[in-house]
Amino acid sequence: MSIIVNLDVMLAKRKMTLTELSEQIDLSLNNLSVLKTGKARAIRFSTLEKICEVLECQPGDILEYRIANQPD
């Protein structure tokens, strides 16, 4: 099982860059990049809330639970 981060998908849908999102939510580009690439080990609810607010989406649009060995 694993958590898939679809931040890049939402950014593309909103025609927004990671840099723009970083500036709007006041989070470092490096920290957002770690999240976007799926290398983050945790995310604060406050950060998730800000991302959802700016991208006008739900947490489930960004985070996805996938069972191992399940086809994409």
The string of pLDDT tens digits covering residues 9-66 is 999 999 999 999 999 999 999 999 999 998 999 999 999 999 999 999 999 999 999 8
- For 26-40, the pLDDT digits (tens) are 999 999 999 999 899
| Predicted pLDDT at 72 | 62
The answer as to whether 20 is a domain residue is: yes
The answer as to whether 17 is a domain residue is: yes
Tokens representing 72 are 């994409």
Residues whose CB falls within 8 Å of the CB of residue 37, separated by 6 or more in sequence, listed in order: 5
Number of domains in the chain: 1
Closest CA to 7 of 65, 70, 60: 60
pTM for the whole structure: 0.87
Burial of 57 (0-12, 13-18, 19+ CB in 10 A): middle
The answer as to whether 71 is a domain residue is: no
Domain that holds residue 49: 2-66
| Predicted pLDDT at 1 | 56
